[in-house]
Amino acid sequence: MEKVIIVGSGCAGLTAAIYAARANLKPLVLEGRQPGGQLSTTTMVENFPGFADGIDGPQLIMNMHAQAERFGARFSYSEVTGFEPAGNHIRLKADDEWLETQALIIASGAAARWLGLENEEKLVGHGLTSCATCDGAFYRNVPVCVIGGGDSAAEEAIFLTRFASKVYLIHRRDKLRASKIMADRVLAHEKIEPIWNTVVTKYVPDEKGEMAAVMLRNIESHEERELEVACVFVAIGHDPNTQVFSGKLETDPDGYLLVRHLAESKHPGVFIAGDVADRVYKQAITAAGSGCAAAIEAEKYLSGLPPA
């Protein structure tokens, strides 16, 4: 029987691991399909307090991982495929093995959203991706496009200007949702061309199955046209990774886990942190803060103390 299992190893899960480890609970962190979470696929993080010159996302995550390990957190790459609350403990299936724990911290984060167009699955890795930091360098001196109008799209577009000959930013509205500082940078960049009020209706692969172009439709004029691009970077937000908990823990209609007070779920011993429950802020620092709260609440629960 474990004392605390933490599902997820992004900013929320690793912060929970640091706090739980320092409370001598020897947490077991199940890192899952995307170790390090969303920060592992981002570039410079400029708004995490304490790093006046910014810090590389993967570096920030590696630092948190080392910090948690230093205090005794244990890590496993396994992914949770089953969840059964059982009386005063919780059963979790991690890969093929069932584990038991007295307390559980769910910090499973959120996964990139896709457009749902024809051939989408086949084209992933062949000129279709949701990660500029992972794949941007493969597309040098060719035109690419980013879809979306939020901070992720802005950040990806700016990053891609290092490699691509041209970056089209395709957005379904006539202004960006991104924060002002990011939006201003995008709009001032000579390599970035925004294409407003426009949606992608089709991916157009070449005869080898590699992305060659996209079909665009202007949602006001309904005009259609083809745009040649070697890669499409989809940055239209994320969905919470809660499939395994669905029907067993409370969620909102979009699948975000519901939190009663700070980090507490309705089920005793189950605590929640980070983007898996956050449809509002979704920042590294808020994820870290909720990871801290979840670990403190788990510690109190295990000591028989009342919650906050």
Q: Three-state SS for 43?
A: coil
Q: Hey, which residues does 259 pair with through a beta bridge? A: none
Least distance CB 198 / ligand NAP (angstroms)? 9
Catalytic residue status for 275 = no
Catalytic residue status for 135 = yes
Secondary structure of 238-263 as H, E, C letters: EEECCHHHECCECECCCCCECCCECC
236 is a contact residue toward ligand NAP (CB under 6 A): yes
Pick one of 237, 255, 268, 307: the residue that binds ligand NAP (CB under 6 A). 237
Residue 112 CA to residue 248 CA, distance in Å, equals 23
Q: Minimal CB distance to ligand NAP: which residue?
A: 150
194 is a contact residue toward ligand NAP (CB under 6 A): no
Q: Of the two residues 105 and 132, which places its CB atom closer to ligand NAP in the complex?
A: 132
92, 195 contact by CB (below 8 A): no
Pick one of 8, 109, 148, 289: the residue that binds ligand NAP (CB under 6 A). 148
105, 20 contact by CB (below 8 A): yes
Secondary structure of 48-87 as H, E, C letters: CCCCCCCEEHHHHHHHHHHHHHHCCCEEECCCEEEEEEEC
Least distance CB 38 / ligand NAP (angstroms)? 8
- Total residues contacting ligand NAP by CB under 6 A comes to 19
Binding to ligand NAP by CB under 6 A, coded x per residue (else -) over 100-119, reads ---------------x----
172 is a contact residue toward ligand NAP (CB under 6 A): yes
DSSP assignment of 154-186 equals HHHHHHHTTT-SEEEEE-SSSS--S-HHHHHHH
- Residues numbered 263 to 282 that lie near ligand NAP (CB under 6 A) are 282
Mark the segment that binds ligand NAP (CB under 6 A) among 172-180, 187-195, 252-260, 299-307. 172-180
Residues identified as active-site: 131, 134-135
